[in-house]
A and B are shown apart, each in its own frame.
Chain A
Amino acid sequence: MKPSLSSLYQSVELRQEIPPLLVGERTNANGSKLFRERLLADDFQGCLQIGLAQEANGAQVLDLCAAYAGRDELADMTTLVSLFARSVKVPLMIDSTTPEVIEACLKLYPGRCIVNSINLEDGGQTARRVCALLKKYGAAVVALTISEKGMAMRAEEKIAIAQRIHDIAVGEFGLRPGDLLFDALTFTVGAGDENLRDAAVQTLEAIRGIKSALPGVGTILGLSNISFGLSPASRKVLNSVFLHEAVAAGLDAAIVDAGKVIPLARIDEKDRAFCLDLLYDRRSETVPDPLLAFIEHFKSATSAAADAAPAGNAFAGAEQAVFAQVVEGNKEGVEDNLAMLLERLTPLAIINQILVPAMRHVGELFGRGELLLPFVLQSAEVMKKAVSWLEPLMEKGADTQQTRVLLATVQGDVHDIGKNLVDIILSNNGYKVYNIGIKIPAETVIEQARALKADVIGLSGLLVKSAMIMRDSMAQYREAGLTQPILLGGAALTPRFVAESCAPEYPGPVVYCQDAFAGLKAVRAFEEGRLTSTVWSASGVAAVKPGARDVEIVRDNPVPAVPFLGVRYVEAIDPAQVFPFVNKQALFRGRWGYRRAKLLAEEYETLIRETVEPAYEGLMRRAVEEGLLSPKVAYGYFRCWSEGDALLVEDGGVTRRFDFPRQAEAPHLCIADYFKSAEEGGDVAGFFVVSVGEVIGREAQALYAANRYHDYLMLHGFGVEVTDGLAEYWHAAMRREMGIAGCEPQDQAGLVTQAYQGSRFGFGYPACPDLEAHRPVFAMLRPERIGVTLTENMLMVPEQTTSAIIAHHPQAKYFAV
């Protein structure tokens, strides 16, 4: 049997077909500042993150070291080993020289690990104690070429010490030669120390010598020592070139920062020549000092390879490469790696054993706030590309066991970004998704659920009305005999509403899903037979609704003079005028999902500056250049008066009636309160319908259809927030026209908190959820002229359109009924 290591999840051969075996070095309190800081802060989860990142970058084994002055190594290591054993897929290298710690970890670890390390510093006493443990628990070991005289510098010393350790481990304790990895140690060639000029040469010779003198043993090397003292960018290149040379000399494993290994092919020929001269200490007349030449070269050269993205997977197997590509959202060349995998695995095995676990890992990272939505979508694009490439190669009917999920946006609602995100996440996690579209009546859901034999039904909708429709259709689904789980998602839903108003009406589980990953979790729970309805415990804290006290609405505020009565249209608005009104926080964090979550303030700032702002600027530019936006407004001012909860609006001889709902709880607000009654002398109200046109929506749908999930999310979110920006922009224009713009907000934050006089209340939104109000609004404003029409369900088309009633009353602010 080939010497291997294993974790709970997988085994790894010590001798890779394409060496070297990559051992991640960043989970080491002595080698990584970040790891040390987290360890000192008892942030074990944070330590784990570093390990997971190494794994994602292609590490096949993780070196774990918690030996640090002032810490309890035994306690730290046992905690970390238990945590890593559960959460990390690759096997561990227990990095300790203390036999008690080593034994505790070997006892604890649910697989076969490797110990780092033994040596002959004390003549072999400790090495023998550890060898006894290795034999007892069955583990491999790293042996350093250190003797009573210290670290061996010359090749022949290194080989001699290796021979002595071999005699102890194999001769005295009966370990298998294949379980020994000799580290011939290396020293820096970057310090200019005359004694170390040939350090690389000695190490490479020792690797060759050990391999020939001790048949069957392996070799390992901590790579980064070679370049100690040099600049970070040049170290990356030198380390990679040295690794290549060492592998050529017979190296089997390397301890590296897995994310920083550069494949040789990506290293510039010239860079490489300077590295080789330095490593082999080649002096010539033209290059009297290779070290100086190296430093000089890398000072001026902006090495392409040194700045390149991590490519630790180049040496690792194609399996790790594909896994890493999905996690990193890197599509490039995925077909080549898949083709390599096909030599050993069936297409279905590739999907189930590599791609789906990779997406699962992505989901876990998202769940922990370590991966943001746009990056998740890039991962999903890689998944989609990989599966599409594999699908034609699959045997027909090979996937009949897939769980089938029906998705629909409910009747009367056209919003489909949420539903489409669920589709993207579920279908790219291996489920069969039938996305039957928007505005789907309950009858169609029932019919399709039967026809498609859906195992799970997912219903979505943004509007307040959609939540009501979901609630009201539960009984219909029950009466139709459906019993499969129903997942509900949408901005207007709450767990409480689903638990109290929806779940009791339906026999199967009814589950609230906060986002697409909650949907994924629910489908998995269904497969495992443990999906249950959302529950709301009455013991939980009740929602604190803002302003929970009645307020007196002032009745004698002045009625502003409006510039005209009736309707006007504004059709030539430059998008550039609208952009300053876009709520960038809501766009970046809300619509796009670039939330700070666990990032440090500076890291988030960098993300915003280097990734998000440029994306936003690119979209603004594109929108203008390609005519994606054509902002238009239909608006007007009308005389009106309130009657109880109703507002009556005078429209050229016709009286239009708006019945507004009143809050059931304090402070019992109602939009009608902000307008004077006939007895109080009447009032004026503003109305508008604003739209950025249909092009941007069409463009977004095309991206979705082309599986460009990331760009779809970006463009869709951009359209939503520019539409809202247009509403802000026009609301400000109307405040100016009414002469109530005396205290205008100076920044975006002021717009958010309504630091202006009055308020706009959108139809279909919390203060007036009933879309029936669109009937009189359309009769008054006739926005068909700017290209906006109403569906039979009172929704406006195109999607990127919004409407509102404008109240000028100083006390009027957002509220929800």
Chain B
Amino acid sequence: MRMICANCGYVYDPEAGDPLGAVPPGVAFEALPEGWVCPLCYAGKEAFDPLD
């Protein structure tokens, strides 16, 4: 499931991963480390909301 940052609108798409955070494609949001932050606004995982 794609997740959206409620603070800035960045979308984490597991199919794309997060190149800025060195997260390879295929990593589910739940599987991201606890310390992972939004690559654009640096909000924590708890700021993310399900997109679809």
Contacts and interface: CB of A to CB of B under 8 A. Distances in A.
B34 to A, nearest CB: 5
Contact of B49 (A541, A583, A597): A597
Contacts of B21: 544-547
Interface in B15-42: 18, 20-23, 33-37, 39-42
A752 B22 contact: no
Interface in A528-559: 540-549
B34 A589 contact: no
A719 to B, nearest CB: 17
Contact of B10 (A596, A601, A753): A753
Contact of A586 (B9, B20, B37): B9
A586 B4 CA distance: 9
A543 B35 CA distance: 4
Contact of B4 (A494, A544, A545, A585): A585
Contacts of A753: 10, 40
Nearest to B36: A544
Contact of B8 (A547, A548, A590): A590
Contacts of A541: 33-35
Nearest to A585: B9
A607 interface: no
Interface in A307-348: none
A514 interface: yes
A543 B37 contact: yes
Contacts of B39: 546-547
Contacts of A585: 4, 6, 9
A292 interface: no
A752 to B, nearest CB: 4
A748 interface: yes
Contacts of A596: 49-51
Contacts of B7: 586, 590
Given A548-B22, A595-B49, A540 B9 contact: no
B9 A816 contact: no
Contact of A752 (B9, B18, B36, B52): B9
A583 B11 contact: no
Interface in A258-278: none
Contacts of A814: 40-41
Contacts of A110: none
A589 B22 contact: no
Contacts of B6: 585-586, 589-590, 595
A695 B5 CA distance: 30
Contact of B37 (A545, A589, A754): A545
Nearest to B39: A546
A766 interface: yes
Interface in A579-625: 583, 585-586, 589-590, 595-597, 601
A287 interface: no
A586 B10 CA distance: 9
A749 interface: yes
Contacts of A749: 9, 11
A583 B11 CA distance: 13
A814 to B, nearest CB: 6
Nearest to B23: A544
Interface string A617-658: 000000000000000000000000000000000000000000
Contacts of A586: 6-9
Nearest to A724: B8
Contacts of B41: 814
For A540, A548, A590, A597, the residue with the greatest tally of chain B CB atoms inside 10 Å of its CB is: A590
B18 A583 contact: no
Contacts of A544: 21-23, 33, 35-37
Given A546-B18, A548-B22, A590-B7, A601 B52 contact: yes
Contacts of B18: 546
B35 A540 contact: yes
A748 B37 CA distance: 21
Contacts of A595: 6, 49
Nearest to B52: A601
Given A541-B35, A544-B33, A766-B42, A752 B10 contact: yes
Contacts of A589: 4, 6, 49
A752 B20 contact: no
A366 to B, nearest CB: 14
A586 to B, nearest CB: 5
Nearest to A593: B6
Given A514-B46, A590-B8, A752 B35 contact: no
Contacts of A748: 9
A711 to B, nearest CB: 21
Contacts of A540: 34-35
B20 A547 contact: yes
A494 B21 CA distance: 19
Contacts of A766: 42
A590 B9 CA distance: 9
A583 B9 CA distance: 7
A548 B20 CA distance: 8
B44 to A, nearest CB: 8
Interface of A: 494, 514, 540-549, 583, 585-586, 589-590, 595-597, 601, 748-749, 752-754, 766, 814, 816
Given A543-B36, A544-B23, A589-B49, 6 more contacts: A544-B36, A547-B22, A590-B8, A595-B49, A748-B9, A753-B40
- 4 shortest interchain CB distances as A-B pairs: A589-B6, A546-B20, A585-B9, A543-B35
17 contacts: A540-B34, A540-B35, A543-B36, A543-B37, A544-B36, A544-B37, A546-B18, A548-B22, A585-B4, A586-B9, A589-B4, A590-B6, A590-B8, A595-B6, A752-B11, A753-B40, A766-B42
